[in-house]
Amino acid sequence: MSGKMTDVQAQYEKQGYLTSIPILSAEELQQARDAFALLEKEFGKDYTSYSLHNVHMEYDWVMALTKHPRVLEVITTVLGPDVILLDSRFICKYPVSKRSPAKAGDSNDVTAYNQESEAEKSMSDQNSDTGLPYVAWHQDMKYWGLDGGPVVSVWLALDDSLEDNGALQVIPGTHCSGLLPHRPAKRAGNMLSVNQEIPEELVQKENSLLCPLLAGQMSIHDGLLVHASDPNTSERRRCGFVIRYVPAAAYPIQDPERPRSFPATVVVSGQDKYNHFSKQRPEL
Ligand SMILES: O=C(O)CCC(=O)C(=O)O
């Protein structure tokens, strides 16, 4: 990322995303993975798959990831010097059985999938409605009642995130389409808490691109970029840390379509002369 930052900015503005940006050193990656393994042990994998929300407020190592100098170098290039961390969440897709995806306690069990016959596999490949965790096509802004500036989402890989374990997919340029309609997702397994999706007739899947990442790399995407991810059909975990940033000038709005509170904001770069979010922070 060093060198011509203006090119980086231009590319981001045109495509709405950037990918394969190296962030963590081997040592930093190992430390983050070890710390995440402790959370898995403490809370269990059903919990760590999607419920580690805003834990940057609880764990110093998570807060350090949100302020990682390489992350902030990219984010300030895109958003300017004054940046607020809006929200964070680990999104972890564990390898699961294709036959009993929803069964509690099965979340790391690949045995049933491995035992499927080739014929069964090809049948189930044709049927995308497996119920396995996936992320439906959506725009992040659908979930954020905000105005006054863009949201940038970081996807920081703690594991290699590839096609077979459900890497992020994006549709370049769609951040210029405005906010698209969303509806309740039709397929079971959507990990998004509000369970929405953009209707398929509005999603130009033929233009979609996979964003494969090696562990320690990140991608970033604009809050209006259409993106999704498929189930993890591999035997490997796919864990990512998603961090949302806004310029300090952004402000929360009351939009019944996009209700949201922002209790865990942090000024991560520069100054916050606006204090738009400080009222939403709990008193300490
Ligand atoms: O982790 C995923 O597969 C999806 C993440 C996502 O939707 C996001 O970062 O906004």
User: For the whole model, what pTM was predicted?
Assistant: 0.87
Which atom of ligand 1 is found nearest the CA of 229?
Answer: 3
DSSP string, 12-59: HHHHSEEEEEE---HHHHHHHHHHHHHHHHHH-HHHHTT--BSGGGT-
What is the percent of the chain where pLDDT is above 90?
75
pLDDT in tens, 214-227: 999 999 999 999 99
Which atom of ligand 1 is found nearest the CA of 227?
Answer: 7
135 Cα: distance to centroid of ligand 1 (angstroms): 7
158 Cα: distance to centroid of ligand 1 (angstroms): 14
193 Cα: distance to centroid of ligand 1 (angstroms): 12
Determine whether the shortest distance from the Cβ of 112 to ligand 1 is under 6 A.
no
Ligand 1 pocket test: pick from 229, 230, 234, 245 the residue with the most ligand atoms within 8 Å of its Cβ: 229
Ligand 1 pocket test: pick from 158, 182, 242, 244 the residue with the most ligand atoms within 8 Å of its Cβ: 242
As beta bridge partners, residue 92 has 239
140 Cα: distance to centroid of ligand 1 (angstroms): 9
Domain spanning 18-95+133-280 has what CATH number?
2.60.120.620
**Structural contact between residues 179 and 126, judged by C-beta atoms closer than 8 angstroms:** no
Determine whether the shortest distance from the Cβ of 247 to ligand 1 is under 6 A.
no
**Strands, E assignment, 121-216:** 135-138, 146-147, 152-157, 168-170, 183-184, 196-197, 209-210
Q: Is the pLDDT of residue 125 over 90?
A: no
191 Cα: distance to centroid of ligand 1 (angstroms): 9
Give the pLDDT confidence score for residue 192 in this predicted structure.
86
pLDDT in tens, 23-71: 999 999 999 999 999 999 999 999 999 999 999 999 999 999 999 999 9
**Structural contact between residues 78 and 221, judged by C-beta atoms closer than 8 angstroms:** no
Q: Pick the residue with more confidence: 280 or 204? A: 204
